[in-house]
Structure 1
Amino acid sequence: MGPYASLLLAEMGADVCKVEAPEGDTTRNVGPGRNAGMAAIFLHLNRNKRSIVLNLKTQSGLNALKQMIRSADVLLYSLRPQAMERLGLSYEQVCALNPRIVYCGAFGFSQRGPYAARPAYDNLIQAGVGIPASQARKTGGEPSYVATAIADRQVGMATSLAVLGALFHRAQTGRGQAVSVPMFETFAHFVLGDHLYSHTFVPPLGDWGYARMTAPGRRPFPTLDGHISVEVYADRHWQRLFCAVGKPEMSNDPRYVSVHTRAQHMDELYDFLSTTFTTRTTAEWDKLLTEADIPVIPVHTPESVLSDPHMQAVGFFGEEMHPSEGKIRTIGSPFEWGDSPPASRFPAPRLGQHTIELMREYGLSESEIETAVGHGGALAEQQTASSET
């Protein structure tokens, strides 16, 4: 969530200095890669950032970071607050160095509750707010996690929003502040707006769970050659669909004339749709339903979305030559700006690639740089030396 939050900020033009331990960010080795420390997940999370290696367990490494903090706008961390305190980087200590700083922590749980010191990962947070239970209700099977790091990514997005809000507050007041973005509470806010449902009322008016979202029939429909996602929701969508498939009389069936009556007969409607969509190919249904202005999209794999005609038209995916990794595929920025469009300034950095460059920018002396780099480990020295040449 920390790297995703800073990625979004970097996409909007922030100068992100990624502070790494001598062994590097753990995501450097998640997924396939051509070279150690430059795996797929890392490449997508860390473009437009510069990497500095600092061993914060040494005084020289800690001093270097504190020097950077003096002129930074934001300190964003995704460690437990207890770890920051042990490093001597609590908000009070950082604020003493730079009262205007936005000090933002993204971590597992609010520090006001009994889970404060617990570690947290995406799966734990999904489980803690009811995602696996909701999935089980939908499938009729065992609880399961969503097949992407949805909690990490969503909390990362919320973190970037919190940073921007705090920067706006500082622009209005001149004051920095500490901001906390706990995963458990942030993801609960995201999920329970749907699934608290009848428990919104005291006493509850029924069961938890947005019934439409957890309905077993709410799934992509099989076609002759694949699957398709169709959102037949409003009255007009159903009327057009019934006509498009040669069943116009169903538009006048009392069971299907409104959202309220359809809700009582959704199982039979899902059965009807499942049977109907198997009669044509995905491409045929996509064309027919698009012409009828019924919301529809083919079901892609992460591979097939690369050739989606809309994604190709907007240039969402690209290719670039990475200085050390060769040709790689890039994922486009989701933002579109009229006056200040995001730019790809530099690719994901090698470990410690910008260490010396950043230390000089932040005003460290040559002797301080030499001491800090020496305590950063052989890998940091190797990487920074290559970046200097």
Structure 2
Amino acid sequence: MQEPDMAQLALKGLRVLEVGGGAAVAYAGKLFADFGAEVIKVEPPQGDAWRQMPPLVAPQDGMAPESALFAWLNTNKRSVAADAAQPADRAWLGTLARSCDLVLDARALAQGLAALQQPLWTWGQAAGAATPPPMGVDFTWFGDSGPYKDFAATDATCRALAGAVHGSGPVEGAPHMPHDVHTGIVAGLGAFTVAVAAWMGRSQGSRRYVLSVQEAAFSVVEMEAGLVQDKAHAPRLGVNRFCTTHPASILQTSDGWIGIFTNTLAQWAGLCDAIGRPELGSDPRFFSGPDRMAHADLIDALLKDVFPSRSTQEWFALLTANKHPAVIVPTMAQLLEQAVHRERKAFVPVQLGAAQFEGPVLPQRLDAAGPLLGGRARLLG
């Protein structure tokens, strides 16, 4: 990937206002900014709360540390600080909103739907003025209609209500909860997709769109939703036990980790050959995925004993030779060093003040140019 020509970036010339906190609106804004749009992020005078989300880096000597994650989410944007409780700031923000093509508004996530009753672009505008409104995407937890519309939530609860949490984790006790950023990324991508499509069809389409974070999370868990039977959740099967096949696990080797996924009988036979137990490949107890799931404890004990005997690379070569699906699971240090990522510039520099670190490049593509290969995150204001 080569550094893109700024003039050729797909969204160059578009002006976007980003208001509110959280990963969802920040990621939507990042997508616009990294593809060339002018994105203006509005923060309260004390700064966005996510500026303190670990891990932290020091922007420069004598300054308090700030979030590396926040910096990555906000590359190539401008930053302005304003207090919406102050009339002068409200009027100024209204003028700013009217100068933009698009407003990404996440105020309702913190303040409820009442925050959307008076759109930003109307602030400070004279009564009866006929200024065409900018296009807008409003971020909500559950939309602006329906029985949940006034409920408060978090990214984690939306993910759980979408069915993406129940089936993961030990049989007894609480399920595993992923980091909130996962849900925010999905919702941000949804908002970006809607906004770009709306901009392309702006001569005929609506000018305001309402995004539900819960519905966005649901869009990526169709399989889990399909496993819900008889109007009740299917029982949680345990760690690394999903659906009706086994083993589908990440296993520890002598020097790291490897992931395996066994679906067909031929794949099971290949795994048995690789671990030196070919007789198990023809054992009728293990012929089908449900059969193997019924004997998951026995299989897991066998694999946990044998996999530490070889390195990750040795297991990968052996499993591949036996036509069994396998993937090397690198540590973060190994991931950053892998040639396949370095050759494709998968990790790019992010600057915050005088500090610099690496973060992942956006995986999306729009036309031939972009996204920008890293960039600078602005200090507050």
TM-score, L = length of structure 1: 0.74
Q: Any idea what SS the aligned residue of 1:52 has?
A: strand
1:169 aligns with 2:201: yes
- Using the TM superposition, give the Cα deviation of residue 199 of structure 1 relative to its aligned residue in structure 2, in angstroms: 4.0
- In angstroms, what is the RMSD of aligned CA positions? 3.5
Contact 1:196/1:208 (8 A) holds in 2: no
Residue aligning to 1:288: 318
Contact 2:81/2:380 (8 A) holds in 1: yes
Alignment of 1:112-131 (within 5 A): 112-131=145-164
CA distance in 1, matches of 2:263, 2:343: 28
- Using the TM superposition, give the Cα deviation of residue 3 of structure 1 relative to its aligned residue in structure 2, in angstroms: 0.4
1:105–1:44 CA distance, 2 compared to 1 (3 A): same
Residue aligning to 2:258: 228
Residue aligning to 2:106: 78
Contact 2:260/2:325 (8 A) holds in 1: yes
- Using the TM superposition, give the Cα deviation of residue 124 of structure 1 relative to its aligned residue in structure 2, in angstroms: 2.7
1:303–1:188 CA distance, 2 compared to 1 (3 A): same
- Using the TM superposition, give the Cα deviation of residue 267 of structure 1 relative to its aligned residue in structure 2, in angstroms: 4.8
**Where does the alignment leave 5 or more consecutive residues of structure 1 unmatched?**
353-389
- Using the TM superposition, give the Cα deviation of residue 205 of structure 1 relative to its aligned residue in structure 2, in angstroms: 9.3
CA distance in 2, matches of 1:335, 1:288: 34
Residue aligning to 1:33: 57
- Using the TM superposition, give the Cα deviation of residue 157 of structure 1 relative to its aligned residue in structure 2, in angstroms: 2.1
Alignment of 1:6-25 (within 5 A): 6-25=29-48
More strand by share: 2
Structure 1 counterpart of 2:136, from 103, 117, 132: 103
Deviations 1:22-63 (A, max 9, x none): 222111122212143732121111002111223322333223
CA distance in 1, matches of 2:176, 2:279: 40
CA distance in 1, matches of 2:300, 2:237: 17
- The amino acid across from 1:326 in the alignment is A
1:329 aligns with 2:358: yes
- Using the TM superposition, give the Cα deviation of residue 291 of structure 1 relative to its aligned residue in structure 2, in angstroms: 4.5
- Using the TM superposition, give the Cα deviation of residue 4 of structure 1 relative to its aligned residue in structure 2, in angstroms: 1.4
Identity between Structure 1 and Structure 2 (%): 24
Residue aligning to 2:188: 156
Residue aligning to 2:19: none
1:313 aligns with 2:343: yes
| Stretch moving more, 13-22 or 61-70 | 61-70
CA distance in 2, matches of 1:281, 1:140: 32
Deviations 1:146-178 (A, max 9, x none): 2453222222222222222322332xx444422
Q: Any idea what SS the aligned residue of 1:219 has?
A: strand
CA distance in 2, matches of 1:205, 1:131: 15
1:207 aligns with 2:230: no
Structure 2 counterpart of 1:66, from 86, 91, 94: 94
1:341 aligns with 2:341: no
Q: Which has the higher contact order (CA 8 A, sep 6+)?
A: 1
CA distance in 2, matches of 1:76, 1:97: 21
CA distance in 2, matches of 1:144, 1:225: 26
Q: Any idea what SS the aligned residue of 1:18 has?
A: strand
More helix by share: 1
Residue aligning to 2:306: 276
Structure 2 counterpart of 1:134, from 164, 167, 172: 167
Contact 1:48/1:344 (8 A) holds in 2: no
**Where does the alignment leave 5 or more consecutive residues of structure 2 unmatched?**
1-23
Contact 2:77/2:377 (8 A) holds in 1: yes
Contact 1:197/1:208 (8 A) holds in 2: no
- The amino acid across from 1:122 in the alignment is D
1:179 aligns with 2:212: no
- The amino acid across from 1:207 in the alignment is A
Tell me the number of residue pairs that the alignment of Structure 1 and Structure 2 aligns. 344
- Using the TM superposition, give the Cα deviation of residue 183 of structure 1 relative to its aligned residue in structure 2, in angstroms: 1.8
Q: Any idea what SS the aligned residue of 1:159 has?
A: helix
